[in-house]
Structure 1
Amino acid sequence: MNHTEKGSKAYLFSVVLVAVIGGLLFGYDTAVISGAEKGLQAFFMGASDFAYTDAVHGITSSSALIGCIVGSAVSGFLASHYGRKRTLFVAGILFLVAALGTYDPEFLFFEHGKPTFPLLVAFNIYRIIGGIGVGLASAICPMYIAEIAPSNIRGTLVSWNQFAIISGQLIVYIVNFLILGDNVNPAVKAVEGVNQILNPGEAAWTIETGWRLMFLSAGVPAAVFSLLVLLVPETPRYLAMSGKDEKALQVLVRINGFSKAKEILADIKSTAEEKTERLFTYGWLVIFVGIMLSVFQQAVGINAVLYFAPRIFETMGMGSPMVQTVFMGIVNLLFTLLAVFTVEKLGRRPLLIAGSIGMAVGAFGVAVCNLVSGIPPVLPVVSIMIYSASFMFSWGPICWVLISEIFPNTIRGAAVAIAVAFQWIFNFIVSSTFLPLYNMSAGDMGDKFGHMFAYSLYGVICVLAAVFVWKLVPETKGKTLEDMSNLWKKKK
């Protein structure tokens, strides 16, 4: 062993870089539906054995989230029994299988290009498989980074995971835009209560091929991640809690230097074995806070915007929907960087509260724009950008930072799994109900009532999120993961 007194930042950053590719895949796989969903909808509308309604399309567009719930729910068991590294490798393989399966769901069992209900089921099974990978990555990537990073830069490094998630979303927006090229998305409109494709000939390529290529594109980063994750070490906390102190010390020395590594290892060992304490050892409040952080991160409605961005921009009548979506992705990326560079200076709580207020302003702004007629399209677009940007410097990255660090070592695997499972449950609820809610009609307002109601609801939830953080969420800036045990024992 190299008993150096100075760890290698290059080694730390290279390891973290591999882990954040899992975050990039997370963002890529969840947002790929934004460009593909119209072609997918038109394809299955051609089925003769069932009616492909808005409700069915909402569930199909969100079906990956069912897998996310499953993946996050089992992540704690897999991470505790098989390690963080092996679990990330499994996630990468699931991403790859899903990319290939959604490209060609007819493989082996169905006639190519013929939409049927059994084919829809097969497509959704592949999406759920990919969702399991997303669920595993969403829980384990920030946990992996938090457990390998020094406490003084842990928040920043975990925030890079959210930066990677948003990067994945921006990359897939651009990839979808390039795949679509000069082709057009199908225009779907309800005529006498029945959805119809208004431009089937013009959009034929997108309906037959375009959406498939968009899903297939996720296979490239999935394959890269699966190979690279084999090269990174297991986290020192998992190694120490599995009785592999020497291997844990080797990793810690490479990152922190020998003296600091010995000190950290002693702290880890002093918090006991991961499998020896029950979930509520530190009381119910820590579990409740972790769950509600996840609930609020999704209940504010952000993923309804991210998943259906082109459709939303189209209804606002503001230029090319795909171009506006790419622009929104760039804005999201820039504001995520704001969190990365301020989380250790300003702390977690101030960013969450400020972001909640900004999101509320943006959401209520969109609602008002739909209530008042004659408003220029640029105003609701700006409101959407404010709403989205506010999420990106607050609830997007900071929720993951807190979930990865607020739980004591002894319950972290199980507690993170529960918290992240709730995140995906509410993601599915919000995403699957958005289209019916958004298209809801009432009186003279028509479907503008649905637009107004949806964003008013999200605005109210944003206000409640700010109150929750102010009253219940502790500040964890500068604290070690081992400090969490004492923090929650005092609140018990």
Structure 2
Amino acid sequence: MNYTEKGSRAYLFSIVLVAVLGGLLFGYDTAVISGAEKGLQAFFIGADDFLYTDTWHGITSSSALLGCIIGSALSGFFASRFGRKVSLLAAGVMFFLSALGSYYPEFLFFPHGDPSYSLLLAFNFYRVLGGVGVGLASAICPMYIAEIAPSNIRGTLVSWNQFAIIFGQLVVYFVNFLILGDHLNPIVEIVDGVNRIMNPDEAAWSIETGWRLMFVSEAVPAGLFTLLVFFVPETPRYLAMTGRDEKALFVLSRINGLTQAKAILKDIKDTANEKTEKLFTYGWMVIFIGIMLSVFQQAVGINAVLYFAPRIFESMGMGNPMVQTVFMGIVNILFTLLAVFTVEKWGRKPLLIYGSIGMAIGAFGVAFSNAVSGLSPMIPVISIMIYSASFMFSWGPICWVLIAEIFPNTIRGAAVAIAVAFQWIFNFIVSSTFLPMYNMSAGDMGDKFGHMFVYGLYGAICVIAAIFVWRLVPETKGKTLEDMTRLWKTRRK
């Protein structure tokens, strides 16, 4: 092999860009439901063979998350058995098939446009399939970037993956907005204890076609990602851990230059023996911290806000809710960039702690605005923006950075899989319980009680998350992945 004497940042960034596209698909797939869920709900309300309740809608809106749990749980097996590159390729294929199937769930077996219980199951199957792809990508994209990147810019490059996730959400918010155009979303209200569509004629296009176009729009970036993965290399750490040292040195030399590549490869070989290390070789605390980082990232409630953003803004009386949702997406992008450009300067822990405090202030602000009548609707809107922006410069990107780098090389595949599986489990719990809690009524407050309760709960969890990070999470800024092996060995003694 012709090793490269001088490394190329352009080569590194081109590889990372492909992996980051997987993050964009992650964000696109999980947020596409925000624009489609009302039309989807109205479509299945028309079924004659079963009653499509709020519970069914909560499950359907969150069904992709079940696939995310499966995909993330399998990611360790896929990453270790087939490699990081093949795993990303599998994720891309699943994204693509899910987009087509969600657009046309009637394929081969059902009459077009005829809602039924069986069609609901078919639709959810395709959403779960896409979720498996998201679960794989969510674990393996940051792992891939972390194993490719030099230690001095690893945090920044992994943070770009979160930027891509948020950018994917913004793109799909905008795409949904364009698809909806001048058409109206259906209004669904409870009449005599049963959901009814209040404007079926005006919203007919959205009920029949709009939601389908929103789902199939994902096929374009999914196809591009799948194609580009063929052109990226396997990570040098996986190559070294599977005995392909020459290929590992070749990739490392193209990124770092030959002299530094030899030193990095030696460090990898000194700490990596994937076949003999067991999960708890470095004690239980490293696994516990990884799991709890994932749990808190979801338990603070952010994805309930992202998935149901148009519905939330509509309940606040804020004009066109899709416009507010797109604006929130722009704010999210800007504050994610804050993390990208400060993570190597300020460190991981300070960003997590400050973000937790900001989120708590925003969540308590929404709760307060629902507890006190007569306040301007701008107060909860601004509070939601503070809450969301605080997440975007902290728990959004930094959690992925820590999960990608906190585990020793020898257990990273399995440990990341476990941590990310817990993330998707709690994502599903939060997303599927949000609407029932949000719509709770009590006494004179009506459903404002539910609004106050759910955001008060999320605010309290944010405070607990800040304490957890302060007391238990180690700072990883400036450390190599091999340094983490030595850190956890020392802590276990």
TM-score (ref. length: structure 2): 0.99
Which structure 2 residues correspond to residues 468-479 of structure 1 after superposition, within 5 A? 468-479=468-479
Deviations 1:31-65 (A, max 9, x none): 00000000000000000111101011000000000
> In 1, distance between residues paired with 2:196 and 2:445?
22
Q: CA deviation at 1:2?
A: 4.5
Q: Structure 1: which 5+ residue stretches go unaligned? A: none
Amino acid at match of 1:480: T
Other structure's SS at 1:63 match? helix
Which structure 2 residues correspond to residues 152-167 of structure 1 after superposition, within 5 A? 152-167=152-167
Deviations 1:196-253 (A, max 9, x none): 1110000000000000000000100000000000000000000000000000000000
Report which stretch shifted further, 16-25 or 188-197: 188-197
> In 2, distance between residues paired with 1:418 and 1:271?
21
Amino acid at match of 1:56: W
Aligned match of 1:133: 133
Aligned match of 2:92: 92
Which structure 2 residues correspond to residues 17-56 of structure 1 after superposition, within 5 A? 17-56=17-56
Residue 375 of structure 1 pairs with residue 375 of structure 2:
yes
Amino acid at match of 1:396: G
Amino acid at match of 2:359: M
Aligned match of 2:241: 241
Q: CA deviation at 1:489?
A: 1.2
Q: CA deviation at 1:4?
A: 4.2
Other structure's SS at 1:440 match? coil
Residue 306 of structure 1 pairs with residue 306 of structure 2:
yes
Amino acid at match of 2:168: G
Aligned match of 1:261: 261
Other structure's SS at 1:265 match? helix
Aligned match of 2:110: 110
Aligned match of 1:336: 336
> In 2, distance between residues paired with 1:216 and 1:253?
40
> In 2, distance between residues paired with 1:375 and 1:308?
23
Amino acid at match of 2:255: I
Aligned match of 2:460: 460
Aligned match of 1:441: 441
> In 1, distance between residues paired with 2:107 and 2:234?
36
Q: CA deviation at 1:435?
A: 0.4
Deviations 1:323-360 (A, max 9, x none): 00000000000000000000000000000000000000
Aligned length: 492
Other structure's SS at 1:482 match? helix
Q: CA deviation at 1:5?
A: 3.9
Amino acid at match of 1:240: A
Aligned match of 2:406: 406
Aligned match of 1:424: 424
Deviations 1:384-415 (A, max 9, x none): 00000000000000000000000000000000
Residue 211 of structure 1 pairs with residue 211 of structure 2:
yes
Amino acid at match of 2:369: C
Aligned match of 1:122: 122
Q: CA deviation at 1:133?
A: 0.2
Q: CA deviation at 1:273?
A: 1.4
Other structure's SS at 2:475 match? coil
Q: CA deviation at 1:275?
A: 2.0
> In 2, distance between residues paired with 1:50 and 1:4?
64
- Percent identity, please: 80
Q: CA deviation at 1:28?
A: 0.1
Q: CA deviation at 1:490?
A: 1.6
Q: CA deviation at 1:274?
A: 1.3
Residue 63 of structure 1 pairs with residue 63 of structure 2:
yes
> In 1, distance between residues paired with 2:113 and 2:418?
40
Q: CA deviation at 1:318?
A: 1.1
Amino acid at match of 2:85: K
> In 2, distance between residues paired with 1:18 and 1:359?
31
Is the contact between residue 4 and residue 250 of structure 2 (CA under 8 Å) also seen in structure 1? no
Q: CA deviation at 1:192?
A: 2.1
| CA RMSD between the two structures | 0.6
Other structure's SS at 2:189 match? strand
> In 1, distance between residues paired with 2:49 and 2:450?
30
Deviations 1:135-160 (A, max 9, x none): 00000000000000000000000000
Deviations 1:413-471 (A, max 9, x none): 00000000000000000000000000000000000000000000000000000000000
Runs of 4+ deviating beyond 2 Å: 1-6
Q: CA deviation at 1:191?
A: 1.5
Amino acid at match of 2:468: F
Amino acid at match of 1:285: M
Q: Structure 2: which 5+ residue stretches go unaligned? A: none
Aligned match of 1:83: 83
> In 1, distance between residues paired with 2:351 and 2:76?
28
Other structure's SS at 1:109 match? coil
Q: CA deviation at 1:276?
A: 1.1
> In 2, distance between residues paired with 1:319 and 1:153?
43
Q: CA deviation at 1:6?
A: 2.5
